[in-house]
Each structure stands twice: as C-alpha cells, then as structure tokens.
Amino acid sequence: MPRPLHATVFPSALAHNVATVRRCLAQAAEPGASLPRVWAVIKANAYGHGIERMLPGASSADGLAMLDLEEAVRCREAGWAGPVMLLEGFFEPADLAVLERYRLCAVVHDASQLDMIRSIRPRQPLDIYLKLNTGMNRLGFAPGRYRAAYDEALALRAQGLLGSIGHATHFASGDSPEHVTHVAGIFDRATLDMPGARSLCNSAAIFGSPAFAARTDWVRPGICLYGATPFDDGAVSAQALGLRPAMALRSTLIAEQHVQAGGGVGYGARFVADRPTRVGIVACGYADGYPRHAPTGTPVVVHGVRTRLVGRVSMDMLAVDLQPVPEAQVGSPVTLWGADGLSVDEVAAAAGTIGYELLTAVTARVPMRTAQD
C-alpha cells in the first residue's frame, strides 16, 4: 500500500488562469488595442506540477517559456508545436544545435552568447530576445551596453544567423507600480527606435500594473497560472485575482494521540499541550516537500475543518490539533494546501516563504494524479 499522501494537479485550472490573465489585460487595454500574447512560464517542471501533465492546460497560451533545454525538448516531444522561449538562452555552443532542431527561441543576456552564435553559425536563423538589465542586476546587458549588443545582433542577422530580435527585461519588484513605471522608462530609453517585440511582465506586473502590461507585445506569467498569488506580502490573494489552484496536496490521518496537559508533541517537544489535547498524525513530512520550518499554528484542513499544525514537522509525518474537529479519526481526509479553502499561499506565509517555493518543492516520492475535469 502506498502512503496516503498524494498531489492532484488540475490542467483545467491552468487554462482557466490563462483566461484570467487575458481578461485582466483586456479590461485594462485601450479600446480596440490588440492584446499582448502570453508566454506561459513552465520552468521548474511547470512549477512542480509536471510539464506533460499540465500541457493540455498550458496549450491555451500562445507560447511556452522555461530555462532548461531538456524541458523545452519535452514540450516538443509532447506535441507542442507553438513558440518556445528559453529564458536564460543557451549555455554552451553545443546547445545551438538543439535550439535549431527544436525551433526554440532564446533570450540573449550576455555578449558570450552572441559570440557563440558567431562562431557556431546556425544554419537556420535563430529568433532571439535581447535582455536589458533594468536594475535587478541578475541577467541582461546594462543600458549603456544595449545599443552595442543590438548592433551586433543586427550584424549577425545580416549574415543570416539571426531571425527576429525582440527586447526583454524582468522586474525586480513587479508588484510595485512605481517600480514598474520607473523600469519602463529605462526600458523605453534603451530600446527607443529599435523595432522588435517587447516582453516584460511577470505575474506580479500583469496584475499590479495591468494597463502597462496591456501595452506590451508578450507577457510572461508564471506563478499565477498555477493559482498562487504573485504578491510577496500576500496583499492580494489568488482567489481575489480570480485564480484557481492547480495543485491540491492531500493525505489522511494515520494515527491519533491523546496528549495529557504538559505532554509534548514531536521532536524536541516544540509543542506542549496546556490541557488534554487530541492530536492527529498526518502522513506528510519535509521529505515530501512540506516546509520543515512551518511552525505550530500553520493552517491544515482535517475532515473539512480548518485546524493547525502542532510541533515540529518530521521527515515523514506532521501533527495536527484535533480539538476543533471532534469527528476526525484515523483515515479522515487531510488537505495540506490547494483545496477546501486553504491556499498554498497561506501555508507559505505561515512558514515564512512564498507559494512558489512550496509548489516547486514537492518531492518525487509524492504520487501525482491528474484531475480529468
């Protein structure tokens, strides 16, 4: 018998969330303006949901974006024929043959990548986006270097090595409209008079600055497509944005304990009962990807009732307070996140992290099912 812990993923939720992004853009756009196209970001194995499982939902986007060449190839092998973008471009000269064979477009963020194109000389012109560093100081050409990089790209195109040349950047604080406006100014000045598609907005910038996002050519939502909030401080919930969770993590109670007043629960007795307390043991631990640093009080739903985690999360189990759930018993269903009104963002906030980390941390030993709805 496998452990009762399992994750269910919902490709239909991803399709719903793509539609929600499009609706948000449509509502913010000037009347009659054409809307940006949508790169669905499916990096990190579709934020932990599984690329092949989520592809039926992701295929309602206009293109797919990721960093791993291997993930890009998996999309092609699963039948995706539309645009594919590599957000970090390519890493070594041999990668260019893969880009050519699978028709992948690449972000070029460093001069070394232009050098590789010059020396390998792909037979098919490669479509690229040049990346501008607008202050995040992670990837991209500095504004003062951007024109030189663009001129170099034009020279490569004149030799038949490049096809389209677009422009991209990434926001350090996409959830701040002031930051987005500031960065947009840097971006406009650096790319002024350069033709080509423009791609700037992640989930936070789409929902935080929709009127700006609606004026770009391609947006790049990631986390919102999986139904978690892009807002760091949880200021706006995923539900308020009209998003649906794409993963539910569920298990059951496998034991119960009657803890006396003064009795501890779990390693280090980090929780001590102040009165006789019924405690349930759930098959889910940090080796499954549940955050070990989630403290007592982290929300958990047992038998449809919201209660709290108590004591330290162990490798394979965690403990919950059954006082609010008198009907709970061994075998009762438990929701860790993504259903019964418990969002991954609430669990993440309690654990001092973000939904992105929890969704991408679910480990390989957790069986994943695809909901067919």
Catalytic residue annotation:
43, 267
Q: How many residues bind ligand PLP (CB under 6 A)?
A: 12
- Cβ–Cβ < 8 Å for 165, 130: yes
Q: What is the nearest approach in angstroms of ligand PLP to the Cβ of residue 88?
A: 8
Q: What is the nearest approach in angstroms of ligand PLP to the Cβ of residue 205?
A: 8
Instruction: Give the integer Cα–Cα distance in Å for 34 and 21.
Output: 15
Instruction: Give the residue, chosen from 7, 61, 87, 149, that forms a contact with ligand PLP under the rule CB under 6 A.
Output: 87
Candidates 70-78, 196-204, 271-279, 357-365; binding stretch for ligand PLP (CB under 6 A): 196-204
Measure the CA dihedral 283/372/64/211, to 10°.
-90
Candidates 18-26, 74-82, 197-205, 301-309; binding stretch for ligand PLP (CB under 6 A): 197-205
Identity of the residue, 210 or 280, whose beta carbon is nearer to ligand PLP in the bound complex = 210
Q: Give the bridge partners for 248, in sequence order.
A: 8
Q: Does residue 348 touch ligand PLP according to CB under 6 A? A: no
- Residue 372 phi/psi, 5-degree rounding, is -100, 80
- Cβ–Cβ < 8 Å for 260, 308: no
Instruction: Give the residue, chosen from 109, 215, 220, 312, that forms a contact with ligand PLP under the rule CB under 6 A.
Output: 220
Q: Where are the beta strands (DSSP E) in 44-189?
A: 63-66, 84-86, 105-108, 126-131, 162-168
Instruction: Give the residue, chosen from 63, 140, 222, 245, that forms a contact with ligand PLP under the rule CB under 6 A.
Output: 222
Instruction: Give the integer Cα–Cα distance in Å for 288 and 297.
Output: 20
Q: What is the nearest approach in angstroms of ligand PLP to the Cβ of residue 209?
A: 13
Identity of the residue, 133 or 202, whose beta carbon is nearer to ligand PLP in the bound complex = 202
Instruction: Give the residue, chosen from 66, 106, 223, 310, that forms a contact with ligand PLP under the rule CB under 6 A.
Output: 223
Q: Show Cβ contacts of residue 216 under 8 Å, excluding neighbours closer than 6 positions.
A: 36, 198, 199, 200, 201
Token representation of residue 83: 């645009």
Q: Does residue 221 touch ligand PLP according to CB under 6 A? A: yes
Candidates 215-223, 263-271, 291-299, 322-330; binding stretch for ligand PLP (CB under 6 A): 215-223
Interface residues toward ligand PLP, by CB under 6 A: 41, 43, 87, 170, 202-204, 220-223, 230
